[in-house]
Chains A and B, each alone.
Chain A
């Protein structure tokens, strides 16, 4: 036996099934809270702020909020599933199965991408009912959505493996994921920042995910979308290698 594709598919299906079983918590709640951001910030800054000429602040904000939701949920899917299984002890069912580290990774990554797309899609659909949302390139939107969910899903795999309790995961979320997403241009363009903060933002990989994603909607961005695409791909590759290495080594999973 060389590959266990059906086993990998089963784990992917189980991970998707898991979050759909609690869809109020995993899809509806994040969608509603993101829409609250849109209502509050959209209403307050709609007239006062113009980020890109010819585009309202709301239409600038929507892609950022969709990406924020998508990223946070993709991360939450893989990280919480792995940590919860570790804490409950039911991770043994997966570890006793003839699944390779790559198969385990792909299943968790795939499910994280699906959750990211479902929650991001929910926010986008509801937002488009409230305000006009322009679409420059559906292909680029989808590409960046998949890449971003992948990046955050891979980060979630690493965080889930590393964490030993919810406190660890919460630290990862609050001190790494949240600052990276909030300081990545969800609510503003980095062109409006001082040079120091602009340079700092250039080191934030999530900035490229949001900027490229927004380009797909508006056709304008802070940096060239190809640059964003390259950074996203490299980041995903790096996180993939790290995740697979961790899974292969059995770090904090196999004694």
Chain B
């Protein structure tokens, strides 16, 4: 990894008249890292990404892409970042190839870049759609074109804003594999996704945003280890009339299994297990496990039970 971070965010704030979308976000993404940016809807992920690409101006703070400020050195920063937008947007006037050459031209690249554009078409399985008008493509194909457009200038930093939202399983796998390939080729990848298993299997480090604030940032194993709770699995249904403290600790409940969140520290765990014993659940009936990334995410963002 080089000394200079691929992305550096310093106290980034975005205030709108009725809401504060970002409340002083600071973190860095190292060069070559596969970084996950998670958060529920409205957490501020897209606002942050839009500031990285210059689509939104920060109210205060700075973002640097490969050392270049996105506001004062926007030409350099935009040359170093490729953003795949979340929405399936396209220009209905042009074909796939025309759009790629136009996008490449915006970045100052002419015919000399055609070989790379052809390679992108091949890699993204778009070769047979090359002369197809964009509005005639399926949603999945449009998604591939968006990825190709974000890569026309060979950016070292690639931001994928929910690339697999609403795509079928086959395309999702193809996109995962493509993201892996980009990462192996040395690109820094920033991924936002609602599919926690995607982040779990692909990302080195994960940042979790909630209501415009950074609530966690670490390697995923460390995120789990730092989470103040573990999960108690009881292989039976505890009934509907549970005491209040038990209801608030419940993670999930089914006909023959109940999962509860209990403190990680020994003292807290003992107290919790003693309370369970008073309900007739002995320690032998309780299996402890580490929470999944999804459970940590839901716990930190208040989206869980």
* Chain A residues packing against B (C-beta within 8 Å): 1, 4, 6-7, 9-11, 13-14, 17-18, 21-22, 85, 88-90, 92-100, 250, 254-255
Asked if B53 and A96 make an inter-chain contact with CB atoms under 8 angstroms apart, the answer reads: yes
Decide yes or no whether B26 CB sits under 8 A from chain A: no
Which residues of the partner chain A approach B91 to less than 8 Å between Cβ atoms?
85, 88, 90, 93
Asked if A6 and B105 make an inter-chain contact with CB atoms under 8 angstroms apart, the answer reads: yes
Which residues of the partner chain B approach A7 to less than 8 Å between Cβ atoms?
105-108
* Chain B residues packing against A (C-beta within 8 Å): 47, 50, 53-57, 74-76, 78-79, 83, 85, 87, 89-94, 98, 102-103, 105-110, 149
- CA separation between A71 and B181, bound complex, in Å? 51
CB A80 to nearest CB in B, in angstroms, measures 12
5 of the cross-chain contacts (CB-CB < 8 Å) are A6-B110, A17-B94, A98-B78, A98-B79, A250-B57
- CA separation between A254 and B57, bound complex, in Å? 7
Partner pick for A18 among B50, B78, B93, CB 8 A cutoff: B93
Partner pick for A93 among B54, B92, B103, B109, CB 8 A cutoff: B103
Which residues of the partner chain B approach A98 to less than 8 Å between Cβ atoms?
74-76, 78-79, 106-108
Asked if A254 and B55 make an inter-chain contact with CB atoms under 8 angstroms apart, the answer reads: yes
- CA separation between A93 and B105, bound complex, in Å? 11
Asked if B78 and A97 make an inter-chain contact with CB atoms under 8 angstroms apart, the answer reads: yes
Partner pick for B56 among A18, A85, A254, CB 8 A cutoff: A254
A-side interface mostly? helix
CB A178 to nearest CB in B, in angstroms, measures 26
- CA separation between A1 and B74, bound complex, in Å? 10
Given contacts A97-B78, A97-B107, A98-B78, contact A89 B87 (CB under 8 A): yes
Partner pick for B149 among A22, A93, A95, CB 8 A cutoff: A93
- CA separation between A105 and B64, bound complex, in Å? 26
CB B111 to nearest CB in A, in angstroms, measures 11
Given contacts A1-B75, A1-B79, A88-B92, contact A96 B54 (CB under 8 A): yes
Which residues of the partner chain A approach B78 to less than 8 Å between Cβ atoms?
96-98
Partner pick for A96 among B83, B87, B94, B102, CB 8 A cutoff: B83
- CA separation between A250 and B50, bound complex, in Å? 13
Asked if B79 and A89 make an inter-chain contact with CB atoms under 8 angstroms apart, the answer reads: no
Q: Which among A1, A6, A92 has the highest number of chain B CB atoms within 10 Å?
A: A92
CB A235 to nearest CB in B, in angstroms, measures 30
Q: A6-B110, A88-B92, A100-B75 are in contact. List 5 more A-B contacts (CB 8 A).
A: A7-B105, A10-B106, A93-B89, A93-B106, A250-B57
Which residues of the partner chain A approach B57 to less than 8 Å between Cβ atoms?
250, 254-255
Which residues of the partner chain B approach A97 to less than 8 Å between Cβ atoms?
78, 103, 106-107
Given contacts A95-B54, A96-B54, A250-B57, contact A6 B108 (CB under 8 A): yes
- CA separation between A1 and B79, bound complex, in Å? 10
Q: Which among A10, A14, A85, A97 has the highest number of chain B CB atoms within 10 Å?
A: A97
CB B166 to nearest CB in A, in angstroms, measures 15
Which residues of the partner chain A approach B56 to less than 8 Å between Cβ atoms?
254-255
Which residues of the partner chain A approach B102 to less than 8 Å between Cβ atoms?
10, 13-14, 93
- CA separation between A88 and B93, bound complex, in Å? 12
Which residues of the partner chain B approach A88 to less than 8 Å between Cβ atoms?
89-92
- CA separation between A22 and B91, bound complex, in Å? 14
Which residues of the partner chain A approach B105 to less than 8 Å between Cβ atoms?
6-7, 9-11, 13-14
CB B10 to nearest CB in A, in angstroms, measures 20
CB B54 to nearest CB in A, in angstroms, measures 7
CB A110 to nearest CB in B, in angstroms, measures 15
Given contacts A90-B89, A90-B91, contact A96 B55 (CB under 8 A): yes
Q: Which among B75, B92, B106 has the highest number of chain A CB atoms within 10 Å?
A: B106
